[in-house]
Structures are given as C-alpha cells and as structure tokens.
Structure 1
Amino acid sequence: MQFLGPPTAPPPPGPFGTPPAARPTGLPPGLPPPPGQPGPSAQAGQPGREPHSVLPPAPPGKAALGVYARFGAEGGSIPRGLVWRVFADQPEASTGAFPLVAESSEPAPVFFLNPGGYIVHVTYGFATAAQRVQMGPVSRRQAFEVPAGALRLAADVDDKPIPAQKLTFDIFEGSFLQGRTSSQPYYRGAAAGDVVLLPEGTYHVVSTYGDANAVVRADVIVQPGKLTDATVHHRAAQISLKLVKVAHGEAQADTQWTVITPGGDTIKESIGAFPTLVLSEGDYSVIARKDGKNFSRDIKVEAGKNQEVEVLAK
C-alpha cells in the first residue's frame, strides 16, 4: 500500500501559492508516511492527550510555537504524513517572495521564533491549511484543522479483481453525475491499492483497464478522517489476436491490426503476431493486414469472457 502526496509538484514557493457511492471506514492510525519521512513522535496521536501540553523553554529572545494538525474541529490529531513550513508574513522587497523561516516533517514540531508575524502552512497529501500567527514574548501552541481523508481504489470484472498493473485511475474534483467536474485531473495515474490523501469533498474517478476503450467513470465522496474504499465495476474482456493460414495454425508475424466499431470508429491499432488488448463489451470488426492484403472478422466481446480470436488469411 503506497502513500501518495503530490506526485510531481514542488513545494509551494510561499503561503499563497496554489498547492497542488463508496464505503467509508475508519482511517487507520498507522497510515504509512511518505518515503523517508519519520513516524509519529511520542506526543502526536496519543489517545486522550493533545500535543504540546508542555512546551520546552525557548532560547533568550525567542518564543516557542508548538503546532499540530487534526482532522477537522472534532477530529483526532494527525499522527504522520505532515509537512510544515513557516514563512515571514511580509514579502521581501526585492523578490516579492515570502521568506521561508523554518520547516519540519515531524507530526507536531516546535519552532523557536523571534517576535513578529508569521504564516504557518501545513500539507497532508493534497490537503493544506495555513494560518497567520503573531508571536510575542510568550510561547504558545496552535492547532490546525485539515479536513482531509483518504481514497483507495480498485476495480473488478464480473466480481473478479483486475490486476493492479492493468489499471490506472485519474481523479478529478467535482461530480460527473451532477455535471460539475474539473477538466484537468487533480491526480493522474493512481494505481489500484494506493492510498491518496485528499481534501474532503466529492471526486470523479476515471478508471482505465488496459489501453483501449475499457473506461468507467464513478463519483466518490471523501470524508475527513475516513479511508474510503471504492471498487469500480468494468464490463470488458481481454482479447488476443492472431492471423493464421489454417485454423489453430501458427500466428503470422509483422501483422498490422485495426479494431473498429460497427460505425467505423477506430478503437485500437497495433503491429505483431499475437497482440492482446482489453475491449469494453460490444460488437467489433477486427482487420488484419499482411503482405498488402486485408483479412477481417466480426467479433462479440462479453464482460469477463477473455478469448483468443483467429483471423483466417483467406
């Protein structure tokens, strides 16, 4: 099970940068952190005890700021997977950027800061929160509400799980069923079984099985502090193609293949002796080209019924 945060986007340059019908269950406290990130501290996530009930003494001229995050106003503290950044609340005159003062990947860090104004930014996967904090001579602690949950996706055909290596998922903000969804993916290329941390809300999932036309769309709801498991049901089958001179004969090498719909739309093209593809259920025509000649056959694809299709070179 893999933890997924923002896949390629770098950390935001400042606090004002733009960060990158399912069954909810309790979010496991042991949700794996990103690679190389430490686990929870002794304080974070302990039942019945909020972090920073006692703050360490600050060096002279500074004050301690203890921060932690929780799943909404009534949620428990988030034990891991957090990235904290502290910025000065005034931009530099020369660059216009907000200077980075401190950062940490501890679940509940303590920052020792000079008196003044700061903006504290925290990320948890794709979910973020930011607050302006004014530091004086007295140390303080600050809670951050990050209304985030997790989404774990899978898919099946005829109640049989589809292997993860044959699936990809793109996640969009909004509801496809209500006609309100973003045009660009919020997260592209999630794999089956990955845990994607997202802000609470409704998301539209596009599941692709294979690399042809086996595509299914579904809406899912992510709730704060919950792990939502969603399984997408495909109606498709795996088809293997071969051009033969006689029935059950040897497949002919260097064959050009085209799969089209009854209406003439091209679904897939490939070259090879024995290509394999996944097609949504329905009727198709398979065309094989070899030595300047075309050979064809009509086929019917039924969900969950994988088949080998022979096209006779006659």
Structure 2
Amino acid sequence: MRTRLAAMAVAILLPAHLLPASAFAQQGVFQNRLGDPLPSPSITSPTLPPSMPPAEPEAQLSLSALLSGAGVPLRQGLAWRIYEDRGDGTRPSIVGRSTEAEPNFTLPPGAYVATVTYGFASASKRIVMGGQPATDTLRVAAGALKLAGAVGDQKIPAAQVSFSVFVPVGTNSEGRLVRSGIKAGEILRLPEGTYHVVSTYGESNAIQRADLRVENGKVTEATLNHRAATVTLKLVAAPGAEAYAGTAFSVLTPGGDTIREAIGAFPQVTLAEGDYVLIARHDGQVYTREFKVESGLDRDIEVVAKAG
C-alpha cells in the first residue's frame, strides 16, 4: 500500500514532459515527440476541394449553302463535314457529317471548321460555339457543265459518247484530269474557271476537243460536233453475200498505224472522217481493201475473199 502511494506521488510531482505517454492516453491527450499536445481530428467539418464551375451546355449549329453571285440556295448534291479546330497544328478530326441541304449539328463549346462540297467545288468557314444555338451560311463558288455529242444535226446516243474534263496547266491543255467517263446529259459541278473537254465517239479515233468556260451560278451547255461515221466490217465471198464468221479485222491508216482491231462476222467500228486500209484474216488467208469514211454516212465495208 505504501509503495503504490509513493509511485502516485512521484507521478504527480514529475513535469509533464517526463510523464509516460500512457498517462496522457488515459486522459485523452496526444503528444508529439517534443511533448506538445496534438490537435484532435475533426469529423464534423472535413476540408473539401473547391467546387468546379458547371460545364457549358452543347448547342445546335444550323447550316445552309448558297451559290456565290447568284445567291441561289443549294438543295441537293451537298456533302457537309464538321472538323474540330484545336489550333495546335495537329490534323483536325471530323466530329460531324451530313448530306442534307440544311443540316443541324449538336456541338459542345469550342472552335470548329465547317466545310461543304458541291461536286468538285467546296467552301469552308471557321465557327466558334459558346453554348448558344448558331446559324451560318456558306457560299460556294461553282457552276456546272452539261455536255452532248452530235454528228451534223444528229445527236449521238448517250451510250455511244463519253467525255473527259481537264484543268489546263501552263501550256498543257490536259494538265490535270478532273474526271473521265462523263455521260452525255450529266451535270458536272465545277469551280468557276476554264476547262478542256475531250469527247470520244465510239472506241476508236472519233475524238473532238474544246475549251469551255464555267461561270458561277450558271450551267454551261455544250455540244461537241464529230465528223465521223460507224461502219460495219464484213468478209464475203461475193458482194452482198453472207459474211464469214470468226474473221479478224484490222483497220489501219494509210501510213500503217493500227486504229482498231475486231473479231466477228460483222463488227461495227466508229471512225473519224478519212481514208483507211482494212485487213481481213480468215482460215489462214489475208485480204485487204482501201475505203473512205464520210462524216454522217454509216455503211457496210465489204472485203471480197477472192480465190487464189
């Protein structure tokens, strides 16, 4: 009993920094290494990060297109793309597409580039969205070509003629191909400028060329006139007789250049006006004939297989 009282007396007389930690733990007080009391953690008022401002809402962008000059609204043949404009020199990414005449895009705030393609013509515009609906119009500098072919007063059927359109480069009228295989009556939309047009009638040498001007808001219609005819080749035993099947024909210029080759009983060949040499090969025999093509005069060219 006396020993316990002595220990308690010593504890009471010792300074606070010499008391064991267990003494303070019993009283609910915590100390650091230097003996100073540590603050008790709070569970009623935790420290929270500052609140973030609310994000700006997405908004609708409405677009339309007009022809420059004429100001005519474009209602078809459009291809729209919306690119994100990051402004850091990286390749922009596509965030929207449409083929409608007046498309709507829902976009978050930011900078964008809107582009519209009309045939081979196009226009673009930088647009900034700030959380509010926006409307804009792009003006396309474009016109169009509509082509046809004829021999004299007779229109060439669309299936028998095709066109190629070029952009002249320097002194080369066929410097850059815009498009080939264009059919008669087709509308080809192009930026304003001068173009070189090549018309091919048939599959041989009946070719005509022309330089044509396309103006904004206008359709340039042109008919390229060919001086040519379609001839039917035949190898016969006598004039007017039945043609031999499986005959191989070669059509040459007087200088010996091959224009067209064909195989059959009576193949048809469209040729430009001029003089030609026809060679027919059948059963190991070769037969020749000279003939002339007159513009607009379609006819049979017979080679008579003479014995010996």
Q: What TM bracket, shorter-length normalisation?
A: 0.7 to 0.9
What runs of 5+ residues in structure 1 fail to find an aligned partner?
1-59
> Are 1:81 and 2:77 an aligned pair?
yes
What fraction of aligned residue pairs are identical, expressed as a percent? 45
The one of 66, 71, 90 aligned to 2:62: 66
Distance 1:80 1:246 in 2: 59
Q: Give the direction of change, closer, same or farther, for the CA distance of 1:210–1:216 in structure 2 (3 Å limit).
A: same
Task: Normalising by structure 1, report the TM-score.
Answer: 0.75
1:185 aligns to what SS in structure 2?
Answer: strand
C-alpha contact 1:71 1:225 (8 A) present in aligned 2: yes
Letter in 2 for 1:69: A
Residue 63 of structure 1, CA deviation? 2.9
C-alpha contact 1:92 1:99 (8 A) present in aligned 2: no
Higher relative contact order (CA 8 A, sep 6+): 1
Distance 2:263 2:225 in 1: 30
Task: Normalising by structure 2, report the TM-score.
Answer: 0.77
C-alpha contact 1:92 1:98 (8 A) present in aligned 2: no
1:147 aligns to what? 141
Distance 1:183 1:90 in 2: 36
2:221 aligns to what? 229
Which of these two proteins has the greater Rg computed from alpha carbons? 2
Letter in 2 for 1:292: G
Deviations 1:190-227 (A, max 9, x none): 11111111111111111110001001111111111111
1:211 aligns to what? 203
- What pairs with 1:1-314 in structure 2 (closer than 5 Å)? 61-73=57-69, 75-90=71-86, 97-174=91-168, 179-314=171-306
Residue 180 of structure 1, CA deviation? 4.3
Letter in 2 for 1:174: P
1:77 aligns to what SS in structure 2?
Answer: coil
Q: Which runs of 4+ in 1 moved over 4 A?
A: none
Residue 64 of structure 1, CA deviation? 2.8
Distance 1:106 1:250 in 2: 59
Which range moves more in the overlay, 230-239 or 132-141? Answer: 132-141
1:165 aligns to what SS in structure 2?
Answer: helix
What runs of 5+ residues in structure 2 fail to find an aligned partner?
1-55
Residue 267 of structure 1, CA deviation? 0.4
Distance 2:217 2:99 in 1: 20
Q: Give the direction of change, closer, same or farther, for the CA distance of 1:161–1:73 in structure 2 (3 Å limit).
A: closer
Higher helix share: 2
CA RMSD of aligned residues (A): 2.1
C-alpha contact 1:283 1:299 (8 A) present in aligned 2: yes
2:159 aligns to what SS in structure 1?
Answer: helix
Letter in 2 for 1:77: P
